[in-house]
């Protein structure tokens, strides 16, 4: 269940949503994460995540859970960027995202950017479980530092399972607490905006995506399964979004 616990240090909170073909039977905000039913285009139920307070701060442990049950179509976005900020006690913050997509269901997970502010330290873990006939559009974007400042430390892990089998497992680390070389030519090359777009669907089983270089700083990689992953770098969030949006327009929903 969604809820909030005030502890020392930091906030403990979980927000949760469940979509069925007929509606949103569960829509529970938690702590800094308020969930709002918003108007959607087409057949989707749409939920917008609204920040009710500054978070994640150092020491916070927050989570968001979304489930699109069999046959449902759910679109999730956010009202503004999420900013990871340092806490008073120098503790790490933790942000967990847990997503599930049932048979014949579709989840479009399209939040705004995560900004890693100077002095912050955030561990973000995303786990996605897909049925064999599920479809997923998942975008994540990170901006390393606000304008004119150095980034905080950001550690992320994304794991995706389809029909109970691993489809993708990836870890990324940026900022002063990350292993050396994260800002070198082999990784970010001085860029401060990094993102990826993951698209999974049954249609890729018969028509796998072709590997492709997209401009100077993005690449499309087919997965060893029915899907594709686009990884992109940019000097700022606006240019990063433009690159990912172009891929998204090229792979619209098929149902």
204: containing domain: 3-220+232-250
Examine residue 225 and state whether it is found in any structural domain, yes or no. Answer: no
pTM for the complete prediction? 0.93
Examine residue 58 and state whether it is found in any structural domain, yes or no. Answer: yes
Examine residue 128 and state whether it is found in any structural domain, yes or no. Answer: yes
In order along its 255 residues, the chain shows pLDDT tens digits of 456 555 556 889 999 999 999 999 999 999 899 999 999 888 999 999 998 777 788 899 999 999 999 999 999 999 999 999 998 777 899 999 999 999 999 999 999 999 999 999 999 999 999 999 999 999 999 999 998 889 999 999 999 999 999 999 999 999 997 887 788 776 788 889 999 999 999 999 888 999 999 988 999 999 999 999 999 999 999 999 999 999 888 877 655
Examine residue 74 and state whether it is found in any structural domain, yes or no. Answer: yes
The 3-state secondary structure of the chain, one letter per residue: CCEEEECCCCEEEEEEEEEECCEEEEEECECCEEEEEECCCCCCEEEEEEECCCCCECCCEEEEEEEECCCCEEEEEECCCEEEECCCCCCCEEEEEEEEECCCCEEEEECCCEEECCCCEEEEEEEEEECCCCEEEEEEEEEECCCCCCCCEEEEEEEEEECCEEEEEEEEEECCCCCCCCCCCCCCCCCCEEEEEEEECCHHHHCCCCCEECCCCEEEEECCCCEEEEEEEECCHHHHHHHHHHHHHHCCCCC
Examine residue 226 and state whether it is found in any structural domain, yes or no. Answer: no
Examine residue 153 and state whether it is found in any structural domain, yes or no. Answer: yes
Examine residue 173 and state whether it is found in any structural domain, yes or no. Answer: yes
**Domain tally for the chain?**
1
Report pLDDT for 1. Answer: 45
Examine residue 138 and state whether it is found in any structural domain, yes or no. Answer: yes
């Amino acid at each position: 269940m969604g809820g909030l616990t005030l502890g020392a240090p930091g906030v403990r909170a979980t927000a949760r949503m469940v979509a069925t073909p007929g509606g949103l039977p569960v829509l529970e905000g938690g702590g800094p994460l308020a969930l709002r039913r918003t108007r959607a285009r087409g057949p989707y139920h749409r939920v917008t995540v609204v920040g009710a307070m500054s978070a994640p701060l150092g020491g916070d442990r927050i989570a968001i859970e979304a489930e699109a049950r069999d046959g449902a179509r759910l679109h999730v976005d956010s009202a503004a960027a999420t900013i990871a900020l340092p806490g008073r006690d120098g503790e790490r913050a933790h942000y967990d995202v847990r997503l599930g997509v049932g048979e014949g269901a579709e989840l479009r997970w399209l939040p705004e950017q995560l900004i890693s502010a100077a002095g912050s330290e955030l561990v973000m873990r995303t786990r996605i479980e897909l049925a064999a006939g599920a479809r997923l559009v998942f975008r994540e974007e990170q901006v390393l530092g606000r304008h004119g400042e150095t980034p905080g430390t950001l550690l992320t892990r994304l794991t995706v399972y389809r029909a109970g089998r691993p489809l993708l497992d990836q870890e990324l680390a940026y900022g002063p607490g990350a292993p050396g070389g994260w800002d070198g030519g082999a990784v970010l090359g001085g860029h401060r905006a990094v993102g990826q777009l993951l698209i999974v669907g049954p249609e890729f089983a018969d028509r796998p995506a072709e590997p492709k270089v997209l401009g100077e700083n993005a690449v499309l990689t087919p997965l060893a399964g029915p899907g594709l992953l686009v990884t992109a770098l940019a000097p700022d969030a606006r240019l990063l979004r433009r690159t990912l949006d172009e891929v998204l327009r090229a792979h619209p929903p098929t149902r």
